Amino acid sequence: MTWMGCGVTTSFDLRLARGTILYGKWHGGRYEVQRLLGEGANGKVFLVSHRGRSYALKVGADAADLQSEINVLRAITDTKSRSGEPFLVHVDDFTHYPGRDYCFYVMQYIQGSSMTEYLQREGSEWYSLLGVHLLRQLAELHQEGWVFGDLKLDNVLVSQYGRAHLIDYGGVTAIGKSVRQFTELYDRGYWSAGSRRADPAYDLFSLAVLLIQVMEDRRLAQLLKSRDRSVNALLALVKESVTLAPFGEWFGKALSGGFNSAREASAAWQSRYRTRSSARQRKKSGSRWLFRAFAVSVLMLAATAIWYLNV
Amino acid sequence: MKQILLITDGCSNVGMNPVTAAAHAYAEGITVNVVGVLDQGDLGEAGATEINEISKAGGGLSRLVHTKELARTVQMMTRKTVMHTIQNAVHKELKQVLGDSSLESLPPEKRGEVVRVMDELGETAKLRVALLIDASASMKPKLQAVEEAIKDLMLSLQSRQGESELSVFHFPGGKHGEGAALDMGWTRSMKDIPALFSRLQMQGTTPTGPAIMEVIDFYRKDDYGRGHRDDMDGLRSDYVV
């Protein structure tokens, strides 16, 4: 995607070789580049080492864009720190040798894989847990007055034991404003299911599409080809899917704005998988009960036989 | 904030040079963005150059896209241009205060406050976008995508906190194949949009320059009618120290 505009820096071809040392211009930190981790809509993220530890360092293509992301991170970092995750570590600029200054921030490095990779590797029984983690993080953000905005496959990393993390905060928007950044597939407006104004239901809609995508990627792609973009088409897909169907009611509410908060959605999601797992247990205990009944009847038969013989 | 968004698929061939027309628009505080829609690479090098030149003269952006990317492009361009207009205004202020116009010259701690104000303005400033649609014969198969893009843009504008209005023109418009015709005056509601182009007669010529001039005229009359100016100046002195 190259923009041919004047004055707006949009093509961003900064390359930093392994071993490059970046010095913070204002605070003097020293960061050694290990490798490129990823490229987002408005910058690049590198793995760096700083004082013997690994961090993720994001360089912005545009100073104003990156700064507004930093503003959001500053505002939510306090909450995240309380839950034991210091997210934003440093903010600074570095001068690259052609004499241009780049803004960057340093954040916690999360090692993990995408949701689809994780589920393929570890099995789909982890599916509902990923949902739990994402809903919890959304609930925390919403409580502080923010909406994540650009929730999509690329913006979620899953680390050990199915811990799903939201990783790119470029789309985070104050509740009530227009969503800053979104991706069509996950956008409520794209599916004609509501506005682009940031409210908790906007994130829940995106999450629902994401949770459909990670299980039924192929069917979703087919649906998009058919150009039938509606909530009903998504719900029909959910109904047809063996894995998703048990969550049908949840998807129905999430896609039509039926939840008032992520907390409510989270409770509904968890009750869903609790009923599922307890149903399985019930089956097991049911057979045990049958076995016991059988044993009792055998004993009674034996007792009857003995009584009969004695008579 | 005023924008013209031109959607076309070819070179202009009648009347005034569209690059000159775009420069006129920019001089009146209207930013001109251009989207070139090409499905089979039918634009040609001359067309691509013209599109780029128009947006440069108009202080805006240009992009060449397929019809399926049209909605996303229109939406992103409009948003980027809003932020760009604000950045320009802020840079001017910074230059006056600091002698350096870049945000990077401020320490990161102070940058935060400036950008917070910029974001606030981007969300709340009054915005008007005039869409100018090329309705020459080759555009016919693309008009459905254009309509979808218009609806999508309206959705994004409605989600803003600030007052946002949209108007739609097509060209060539007049009886003599000159200028542009108004399809929809300033509106804030989705209701007015359906079936915008169903009655449209597709014509052969592409008078891009005269069409831009007509839209400038429309803005001018409108500003006169409303009896006030709503450019960045008023906002700037209110918000930026």
For the domain made up of B2-80+127-239, the CATH class stated in words is alpha beta
Residue A38: burial class (beta carbons within 10 Å; 0-12, 13-18, 19+): middle
**Chain A contact set for B112 (CB, 8 A):** 67, 70-71, 74
Whole-number pLDDT of residue A170: 86
**Chain A contact set for B73 (CB, 8 A):** none
Name every residue whose Cβ is closer than 8 Å to that of residue A90 and which is 6 or more positions away in sequence. Answer: A24, A27, A29, A50, A105, A106
Q: Domain ranges in chain B?
A: 2-80+127-239
Q: Is the pLDDT of residue B97 over 80?
A: no
Instruction: Give the gyration radius of chain B's Cα atoms.
Output: 18
Q: Catalogue the E-assigned strands of chain B.
A: 2-8, 30-37, 59-65, 127-134, 164-171, 181-187
- Taking the C-alpha atoms of residue A274 and residue A123, their distance in angstroms, rounded to an integer, is 18
pLDDT, tens digit (0-9, with 9 covering 90-100), for A62-102: 888 899 899 988 888 766 555 555 578 888 999 887 778 89
Question: Are A197 and B159 within 8 A, CB to CB?
Answer: yes
Q: Which CATH number fits domain A116-271: 2.40.30.20, 1.10.510.10, 3.40.50.150, 3.40.50.620?
A: 1.10.510.10
**Chain A contact set for B60 (CB, 8 A):** 5
Nearest to A177 by CA among A195, A194, A197: A197
Question: Are A103 and B62 within 8 A, CB to CB?
Answer: no
> What's the one-letter identity of residue A283?
K
Q: Is A30 helix (H, G, I), strand (E, B) or coil?
A: strand
CB pairs under 8 A between A and B: 83
pLDDT, tens digit (0-9, with 9 covering 90-100), for A155-191: 999 999 999 999 888 899 999 999 999 999 999 999 9
Q: Is the pLDDT of residue A1 over 60?
A: no
Question: Are A196 and B119 within 8 A, CB to CB?
Answer: no
pLDDT band at B158 (very low <50, low <70, confident <90, very high): very high
Check if the beta carbon of residue A251 is closer than 8 Å to that of residue A207.
no
Question: Are B155 and A71 within 8 A, CB to CB?
Answer: no
Region of A28 (left: φ > 0; alpha: ψ -120 to 50; beta: rest) is left
Question: Are A178 and B159 within 8 A, CB to CB?
Answer: yes
Among all residues of chain A, which has the CA nearest to that of B80? A8
Residue for token pair 């009960």: A289
Mean pLDDT of A239-251: 95
Nearest to A193 by CA among A222, A221, A235, A155: A235
**Nearest chain B CA: its distance from A84 CA (Å):** 24
Q: Is the pLDDT of residue B235 over 70?
A: no
For the ranges A81-95, A189-203, A232-246, B24-38, the lowest mean pLDDT is seen at A81-95
Nearest to A39 by CA among A61, A18, A23: A61
pLDDT, tens digit (0-9, with 9 covering 90-100), for A111-140: 999 999 999 999 999 999 999 999 999 999
Which residues of A are identified as catalytic?
150
Whole-number pLDDT of residue A179: 96
Residues of chain A with CATH 3.30.200.20: 21-108
Question: Are A6 and B55 within 8 A, CB to CB?
Answer: yes
Whole-number pLDDT of residue B40: 72
Q: Is the pLDDT of residue B149 over 90?
A: yes
Asked if A208 has any chain B CB less than 8 Å from its own CB, the reply is no
pLDDT band at B62 (very low <50, low <70, confident <90, very high): very high
Element (H, E) at A87: none
Check if the beta carbon of residue A179 is closer than 8 Å to that of residue A202.
yes
Whole-number pLDDT of residue B239: 43
**Chain A contact set for B118 (CB, 8 A):** 64, 68
Nearest to A131 by CA among A278, A256, A276: A276
For the domain made up of A21-108, the CATH class stated in words is alpha beta
